[in-house]
Chains A and B, each alone.
Chain A
Amino acid sequence: MQKYRLAAVAIFIAMLAAFPCLEPEVYYLSFMFSVFMYVVLASSWNFIGGYAGYLSFGHAAFFGIGAFATAKVASMFELTPLMTILASIPAGALAALVGLIVGYPCLKIRGPYFSVVTICFAFVVELTVKNIEFLGGAEGIYLKFMDIPEKLSRSIMYEVMLLLMVVTLGVAWWLNRSRLGAGLRAIRSDEEVAETMAIPTAKIKIQAFILSAFFPGVAGGLFAYYLTYIHADVVFNISISILIVLMAMFGGGGTWLGPIIGAVILTVVNEGLSTFAQAEIARIIYGALFIVVTIFMPNGIIDFFRKKGSG
């Protein structure tokens, strides 16, 4: 059974990877790029937010740090396209390092207080970047994109983001069945009890937080290069932080599949609404969607269907 499932996943990934060979419109490539990106963001947020129940509302900070680090390095040393893409990995490591430094004091705070401290953290990072000229300041940073036909370059970025998504989901898959994941779930259900059971709560929270900062950092780096121009208002936007949380919780936090489903549905809905309706009306429908889903599926879509399935 396990083998078949793995084969099915492999075939599905291969199909996704082969999609650019069909020569689709650039629009679809960009759209899929953002779907992959949000799956990466929501899934990695899930490590700390879903499994451990520590709802970080500042994850855009890691995304933005990765984006600005990559853009700064690429524009300063005039990196080649390949090097710029690779530079997003150390940028992700930088985001993880910031995660370690910030996570150490912040993860001692529980519940909504943790959420608020992460919001503040995201603001502090954003305002620092905006106020310091060297880091991009109020102007932002321009990047030079690949000097090849648009369709080809977009296809390359599509594949790179797909790769990042596969790696992230691989890690998420591992986490789901590892001791780390079990420990985090224990923290979520009762931290005191987890501590008494000799689970090193402080250590594993930090580990999960670092992991959940790293992937958004890399994604931010790729996004910066993809956009070729980044500004603090765009990558640090609090609505990105909120959207990440909503995607994961919408699908079902603390599960492997939940954030994937949430990210895909919300990205598709967002895109669909913005194409077919007037902006304000689209936002109103979008808002109503949150209300309806929370009322009828208060514990996420996954939970809802699991209960349906089990009778």
Chain B
Amino acid sequence: MDAVLIIQSLISGIMMGMVYALLSVGFSLTWGVMHVIHISHAAFGLLGAYLAYSLLQYFGVDPVVSAAVSVPLLFLVACGVYQLLIRPITRAKEVIVASMILTFGLAIILENVMVLIWKADPRVLTPTYASGALIVGPFYFQYPHLVGFGLSLVGITAIYLFLKKTYTGMAVRAAWQQPEAAQLYGVNLYRISMITFALAVSTAGAGGISLALLNSFEPHSHNLWLIYLFLVVIVGGVGNVIGTALAGLIIGVITGLAMAFLPYQWVNLVTFGLLMVFLIFRPHGLFRQGV
């Protein structure tokens, strides 16, 4: 195989991977910090993509600008969802199971609301620069892909800095590592959980917009996205931001290469087969250390 094709698919794999990473990082945090497996995470991401689609279609707002609107909006919505739905189930015997069933219901609702509003047809985000491309030597990068990649990079970096540098971020990490001790030091676990959840959902929104810049989407796309979320989070280690980012890149590169060299219908088989083998040998992720 020629080197150009390999490098080209590697680079598009990395771009794809960064987007997976942004989409997954919140999923990883809610799972790690709150022990809530948020099945509707990808559906919220899709909601972000649809908001961007409508804003672009009717008001000509660029997807990156619309992220500035939909991310805070999703943050507020998620605070409400946490107070109304997630908080009551934290007293269940098995929070993980209860949260999975509940958010599965939420995902069904979101999916069908999206069908009602936007119809079931596949959509693409077509900003003004959609058809342009950056050409460097023999390589070829479409502008929307570059923008999606950039948005994801910014998103991941922001989350990382938030957790490392801000007081609230440190409280989130404390709650993840030592919930009891954190509480003794005056960390309000409910408040931290709400912030984690809302932050996770808003990053999902940004991730959804990024992914929509790379791929077409329809109301039930979130099911496939969800599988990728699980993939990335498990490989990266639950609750681990850097791990999630690296895992996103690894999985992006693997799928990128698989897409270039394998017949299309074998790509997913390879991905899931790999993940299965991976889980059997390294069930707690590639990277030991946390957040």
Measuring CB to CB, which residues of chain A are less than 8 angstroms from any residue of chain B? 53, 55, 105-106, 108-113, 116-117, 119-121, 123-124, 127-128, 130-131, 238, 242, 246, 249-250, 253, 280-281, 283-284, 286-291, 293-295, 298-299
Contacts and interface: CB of A to CB of B under 8 A. Distances in A.
Contact of B112 (A113, A280, A295): A280
A140 to B, nearest CB: 15
A6 B4 CA distance: 73
B135 interface: no
Contacts of A124: 269, 272-273, 276
Contact of B96 (A112, A117, A250, A293): A112
The binding surface of chain B is classed by DSSP as helix
B85 A280 contact: no
B104 A242 contact: yes
B112 A283 contact: yes
B107 A280 contact: no
Contacts of B105: 286-291, 294
Contacts of B266: 127, 131
B1 to A, nearest CB: 22
B31 interface: yes
Nearest to B116: A280
B265 A290 contact: no
Nearest to B85: A291
The binding surface of chain A is classed by DSSP as helix
Contact of B109 (A120, A288, A295): A288
B280 A105 contact: yes
Contacts of B106: 287, 291
A288 B108 CA distance: 8
A119 B96 CA distance: 16
Contacts of B113: 280, 284
Q: Which 7 A-B pairs have the closest CB atoms?
A: A290-B105, A287-B108, A298-B92, A287-B109, A294-B102, A127-B269, A120-B276
A250 B283 CA distance: 28
